[in-house]
Amino acid sequence: MTIRRGLHSDITGRNVDTPVSWAYANSTARLAATGFVPIDIGRLAWQQDDDTVWMLKDDSPITWVILGKAVKYERHIQLDAKADGTVGNQPTQIDFFTVGGLQYPTTGSKYAFCQWEVPDDWDGTDIYFEINWFPDSGAISGTSALRWTVEYRAIAEGEVINNGTSVTLDNGVGGDTGDYSQYQTKHTRVTLTYNDANQPLVKQDHVYFKISRDTSVANDFSGSVTVSAYEMIYWSVGYPTSN
């Protein structure tokens, strides 16, 4: 991938204020690159397989100097738990103390929705989705279980919203059988595989989630639980090539 060069006033869109001028999949691609001119000397390239950054030292012969390895860091993005969709299928909007959220009962089939855009600083590895919840009607103990299912699609701009086969994730066949006191917070995590055969992830995809409580699980907790938020967790690269 090549990022456009030129006067600042002539550069638009994603090419504005980008720290690197080129991105290469690996060293083979970087070393095979040609067509450099003297004005390119001093510009930077991102080698994506190991997140290293290289400076073009000379255009004839082409000479690269490594400047360092891009820093990766884990990012956590909070998403509101809000009621969307058909009213009859929505969990109950409720609040406890300083926390508001969506209450899921032990009967019926209730579900909620949220969406998130895959950011340009994503490093291309697996992404995690967390449900932040707590039991509100009483403690969970003994053999009681709480099972969540998360169905999603990753949709690019211009695609239909039912494109491809959706992916459904869960927190195990038997759900979560841990002991939790009333109002004790729990974060249940599922993994979005970056190269899933049905819904591979791509930067700027909008990922649409449907979150349900599976009340048919064996030993389903007999009380209600409240979801306070969702969380997206991914690794960010230190040298993104777009804003």
Domain boundaries, the chain: 8-69, 72-237
Burial of 55 from C-beta contacts in 10 A (0-12 / 13-18 / 19+) = middle
The answer on pLDDT for 16 being more than 80 is: no
DSSP H or E run through 232? strand 225-237
pLDDT on residue 41:
96
The answer on pLDDT for 5 being more than 80 is: no
pLDDT on residue 11:
41
pLDDT on residue 238:
63
Alpha helices (runs of H) in the chain, residue ranges in sequence order: 27-32
pLDDT digits (tens, 9 = 90+) for 100-158: 999 999 998 999 999 999 998 898 999 999 999 999 999 999 999 999 999 999 999 99
DSSP H or E run through 129? strand 127-135
The answer on pLDDT for 9 being more than 70 is: no
**Model confidence band, residue 15 (pLDDT cutoffs 50, 70, 90):** very low
pLDDT digits (tens, 9 = 90+) for 49-58: 888 899 999 9
CA distance 80 to 142: 31
203 versus 4: which is more confidently predicted?
A: 203
**CATH topology for the 72-237 domain:** Jelly Rolls (2.60.120)
- Across residues 65-91, what is the average pLDDT? 91
Enter the DSSP assignment of 16. Answer: T
Residues whose CB falls within 8 Å of the CB of residue 211, separated by 6 or more in sequence, listed in order:
111, 112, 113, 114, 131, 148, 149, 150, 227, 230
pLDDT on residue 72:
79
Residue owning tokens 């400047």: 67
The share of the chain scoring above pLDDT 70, in percent, equals: 90
